[in-house]
A and B are shown apart, each in its own frame.
Chain A
Amino acid sequence: MKLTYSKKPLREVFGETLVELGGLHSRLLVLDADLNTSSRTILFKERFPDRFIQCGIAEANLFGIAAGLAAQGYVTFPSTFAAFAARKALDQVYVNIAYPCLDVKIAGSYCGMTATECGPSHNCAEDLAVMRALPHVKVLDPGDNRELRSMMHVMMATPGPVYFRVSKVNAPELFPDGHEFAFGRGHLLRQGRDIALIGTGFMTAVALGAAELLDREGISAAVAHMPSLKPIDEDLLGRLARDTGALVTIENHRIYGGLGGAVAEVTAREYPVHVDAMGLGDTVFEAAPLQDLLRHYQLTPRALAARARALVERKRKGVAAGSRRRVARTVITATTAALPRTP
């Protein structure tokens, strides 16, 4: 099945949906730290200048102000790059927002490798892990434009802190009109018997592509999309584990603590099966265009299909869990290869 890619990047939908929600909810405020043309909160600023608060290049202050406003009954959307929300202002996000459980919806733009040419200082391959570890915070990575829009409507109607990812990526249309996001709900996009490929964010498109490749060689791969990383759809994961016996996750994030970690946490407890995680290894996302990054870090349908094929083979041979280590190590080394550096 060939996917149609939206002409409109996710961040544009983010900006437009803020405007839409702003028209519906007078207590919605948007806060910015000098990035509104990148994040597209500028759309809200132009439509509702009185409800747009510029905090300057001061992310700690951004989240503190957002919290103080939320304490007055406002629903605040402070927005900055994922790197600055999850790394620079983590303490403020924890103490002022997560701990008192305030109604703050944090949009982390330029998430994962999508700061592309900005390189390792701006790319953020740890936001999902960091935010997932905070109390009370729900963590989301939308797969397409409709899902992002629905997600924002749902978070508006749900009190409490949310971290959600936004990027400048043109996402494929995964869902038809009327698609509804729900916290803790995943979506089975393709049935399969031999293995399940699990994606989050726009990386689900890679999983769908890999399933197509596997199908051509007679491997039946299910594909699931997990927009809600916390809470995560434990029922769906349990079913996939039981029905296929082998899972591969793929994410725009380091392999530690993101989707792969979340899936392994659930399956290890509920239904232990082989789980392999694809994403960035123990290194950084270098500066390059998105397509080069995807290829370099082997986050492509072909690479995922290869990993899935190997896992299916091992499952068929009934390889014991103890002998798994060598295979896994080889694969991780391949993903962690850094681009050659010039002095």
Chain B
Amino acid sequence: MKNPTPDQIRALDDRAFAIRRLCLEFITNAGWGHVGGSFSEAELLACLYGGIMNVEPKQADDPRRDRFILSKAHASPALYAALALRGFFPVERLQTYCRLDGLDGHTQRGQCPGIEYSGGSLGTGLSYANGVALGFRLGDNFASRVYCLIGDGECNEGQIWEAAMSAAHYRLDNLIAIVDANKVMAKGKVSELMAVAPLADKFAAFGWTPIEVDGHDVREICAAFHRAKFLEMDGRPVVVIAHTVKGRGVPEAEFNYHWHTHAPSPPQAEAFLRALNQTYGRNETFSRPLSAPSDGGLEAVVTADLGWGMIPSVDAAYSVGHTPGGSVGNSL
């Protein structure tokens, strides 16, 4: 998709909107999740799973498929949504997010089709992607590429630069890194807490070819990935630096680190969907009722065993643990 047609652009934007809506729905119902980082990468994932990557749900184990490594694995909701929308598993399964035997808060390799990497400790994904890319080469697999999505805050991690060094050293031009440069980390702005700019210059100095794009413009994203493919075989790994907005689409959440790890309450989620509808000129609704779960915690378990209480079902709408105007979710 070098130059997507207007229809294709509309389809990709629809997909990005659906990713955000689904994330909002199952993060709210789980009472935990990363809204900001999921919203900033929505268009990137919509494009990757909407035509850029060579992946096929029916052949999820095909060795010649492309691999996607979500190094910023806390933003797993958008990936789960993208995989479900692409048909890797039923959309219903998204409701198991953060439940026992369900989809992990951070990705777990092999837990469901399409998840290639166990993550959660920032900085580790790009090294892993190096290994995958080297493995392709050693196995004479010249068809596959590995795409690795990292955060701009994640570039604080020294290991990112170890991996940047080795990717250039081994001339891994089958590796495409993507920086979701949403400018905000868990507790504040990247520029204030630990600046990483200028990222393009840094990667270039390490021997990479940087391409900078507006990470919410699917046309630019497609063109960048097309160029990344075109640049292959020149020996330099490519990094697509996608300038994005953390929490993009909901003005209250945009560039707001409060929404790094935070689940909205059902009323907040309704308000967020209204904001999304307004931003993107739509009129969509949630496909299921929202209910914030409750966790009775240690007290519930102990008192239940002694016959003094009961363990609340996390799937029912309880009001236990609500903070006024806030959510019941844990905030990291």
Note all chain B residues with C-beta closer than 8 A to A207: none
B136 is an interface residue with CB less than 8 A from chain A: yes
Q: How many chain A residues touch the partner (CB < 8 A)?
A: 28
Min C-beta distance of A65 to chain B, whole Å: 4
Are the C-beta atoms of A61 and B109 separated by less than 8 Å? no
A66 is an interface residue with CB less than 8 A from chain B: yes
B121 is an interface residue with CB less than 8 A from chain A: yes
A118 is an interface residue with CB less than 8 A from chain B: no
Among the stretches B90-98, B122-130, B263-271, the one at the interface with A is B122-130
Are the C-beta atoms of B136 and A64 separated by less than 8 Å? no
Partner of A29, one of B124, B129, B138: B138
Partner of B128, one of A29, A73, A96, A99: A96
> How far apart are the CA atoms of A71 and B138 in the complex, in Å?
13
Partner of A70, one of B125, B131, B162: B131
> How far apart are the CA atoms of A71 and B107 in the complex, in Å?
15
Note all chain A residues with C-beta closer than 8 A to B125: 64
Partner of B134, one of A56, A63, A68, A99: A68
Are the C-beta atoms of B118 and A64 separated by less than 8 Å? no
Contact of A96 with B166 at beta-carbon distance under 8 Å, contacts A61-B159, A71-B132 already known: no
> How far apart are the CA atoms of A131 and B158 in the complex, in Å?
24
Note all chain B residues with C-beta closer than 8 A to A219: none
Are the C-beta atoms of A100 and B124 separated by less than 8 Å? no
Note all chain B residues with C-beta closer than 8 A to A95: 118-121, 124
Note all chain B residues with C-beta closer than 8 A to A73: 135, 139
A92 is an interface residue with CB less than 8 A from chain B: yes
Partner of B132, one of A51, A69, A92: A69
Min C-beta distance of A103 to chain B, whole Å: 12
Q: How large is the interface on B (under 10, 10 to 19, 20 to 34, 35 or more residues)?
A: 20 to 34
Are the C-beta atoms of A68 and B135 separated by less than 8 Å? yes
A53 is an interface residue with CB less than 8 A from chain B: yes
B52 is an interface residue with CB less than 8 A from chain A: no
Note all chain A residues with C-beta closer than 8 A to B158: 60
> How far apart are the CA atoms of A155 and B185 in the complex, in Å?
42
User: Which single residue of chain A is at the shortest CB-CB distance from B158?
Assistant: A60
Note all chain B residues with C-beta closer than 8 A to A152: none
Min C-beta distance of A89 to chain B, whole Å: 9
Note all chain A residues with C-beta closer than 8 A to B126: 64
User: Which single residue of chain B is at the shortest CB-CB distance from A94?
Assistant: B121
Note all chain A residues with C-beta closer than 8 A to B109: 71, 100
A91 is an interface residue with CB less than 8 A from chain B: yes
B324 is an interface residue with CB less than 8 A from chain A: no
Note all chain B residues with C-beta closer than 8 A to A55: 166
Contact of A91 with B131 at beta-carbon distance under 8 Å, contacts A60-B162, A64-B163, A71-B116 already known: no
Partner of B124, one of A70, A74, A92: A92
Are the C-beta atoms of B127 and A64 separated by less than 8 Å? yes
Partner of B162, one of A51, A58, A71, A91: A58
Note all chain A residues with C-beta closer than 8 A to B289: none
User: Which single residue of chain A is at the shortest CB-CB distance from B164?
Assistant: A61
Contact of A69 with B124 at beta-carbon distance under 8 Å, contacts A58-B165, A60-B159, A100-B108 already known: no
Chain A 27-69: CB-based contact to B (< 8 A → 1; otherwise 0): 0010000000000000000000011010110101101111111
B325 is an interface residue with CB less than 8 A from chain A: no
Are the C-beta atoms of A64 and B130 separated by less than 8 Å? yes
A72 is an interface residue with CB less than 8 A from chain B: yes
Are the C-beta atoms of B166 and A71 separated by less than 8 Å? no
Note all chain B residues with C-beta closer than 8 A to A63: 127
Partner of B131, one of A51, A68, A99: A68
> How far apart are the CA atoms of A58 and B127 in the complex, in Å?
10
Chain B 152-172: CB-based contact to A (< 8 A → 1; otherwise 0): 000000110011011001000
User: Which single residue of chain A is at the shortest CB-CB distance from B148?
Assistant: A68
User: Which single residue of chain A is at the shortest CB-CB distance from B159?
Assistant: A60
Are the C-beta atoms of A71 and B165 separated by less than 8 Å? no
Q: Could you list some 6 contacts between A and B, CB below 8 A?
A: A56-B166, A60-B123, A60-B127, A64-B128, A64-B163, A65-B128
A-B pairs, top 5 by smallest CB distance, nearest first, are A68-B131, A64-B127, A72-B135, A61-B162, A58-B162
